[in-house]
Amino acid sequence: MRIGYIGLGIMGKSMARNILKAGYEVVVHNRSRESVMELVGEGAFEAHTPAEVAIAVDIVFTNLPDSPDVELVALGEDGIIEGAHPGLIFVDNSTIKPATARMIGKRLGEKDVTMLDAPVSGGDIGAREGTLTIMVGGSDAGFITAKPVLEAMGKTITHVGGLGDGQIAKAANQIMVAAQMVAMGELLILAQKAGADPEKVVQAIRGGAAGCWTLDNKPQRLFAGNRQPGFKAYMQAKDLGIVMDTAREYGVALPLSAVNTQLFNAMLEMDMRELDNSAVIGVIEQLAGVKLRI
């Protein structure tokens, strides 16, 4: 199979690189050509539009910031739909609204294109190391065909259900991620302001019931003064917006997620949008009147 990848940001470039390392021919496209030329230097082929990618490949992946971006690349001028051919599989690794994924899939289905929504979790580290968690929605046949390529990018790959269900799983994932980031910020600042050593507190609790990926991976970066992404705060805020929109659509109250959404939106107002999502501790610092010692 020949594979296309559109959207070569922090995550997408590494994911495309891992597909290339797995031995596939890869055609890449991105608005900024720097990442394109980097991958071309490693053996990929360049395309100048999403339509050009779609014409040339059997499976085309996208990894884009938000729902409107995916809709434009998939259905807009020079989009995937204009290069569509029967049997093409479109796999979207972006995090978007479930309703948007279902609408795009329906439109592409009219061109005999199969769509899978396959958002990912695991951050820049998981993308580089090929250990991402991938949540897939769509047809059984499409999943079976795409799975070997997904295995080049991820370690835990789950076919959740029909189209859009991958995005439902990602929304659930982001509820938990946001809660962990905020809780970590609170416990570190509480420990410090109450007179305990935050590093020792983390050592004490991470092996017990509080143990989680966030405590295993994020505190040492914060203690070293490193708040760079990672997963950018504005993307976490965007994902929480999708969570809350989906909750309203289905009439579900999410009180904790509502508060966490406010905290991440506060990061954007405090000029921390480009920092890591763990840097939400900066909002807690402001509220507590104390900075984490480094």
Which residues share a beta bridge with 6? 29, 62
Q: How many CA atoms lie within 13 A of 204 on its CB side?
A: 9
131 with 107: CB under 8 angstroms? no
Active site residue 170: yes
Phi-psi region of 271 (alpha: psi -120 to 50; beta: other; left: phi over 0): left
Q: Give the H/E segment covering residue 133.
A: strand 132-137
**Residue 117 CB partners (closer than 8 Å, separation 6+):** 92, 96, 98, 101, 105, 136, 137, 138, 163, 164, 165, 166, 167
Q: Which residues contact 38 (CB under 8 A, 6 or more apart)?
A: 13
Catalytic residue selected from 170, 218, 232, 238: 170
Q: What is the 3-state secondary structure (H, E, C) of 61-130?
A: EECCCCHHHHHHHHHCCCCHHHHCCCCCEEEECCCCCHHHHHHHHHHHHCCCCEEEECCEECHHHHHHHC
* Cis? peptide before 230, omega within 30° of 0: yes
- The answer to whether 30 and 4 are in contact (CB under 8 A) is no
Which residues are identified as catalytic?
Answer: 170
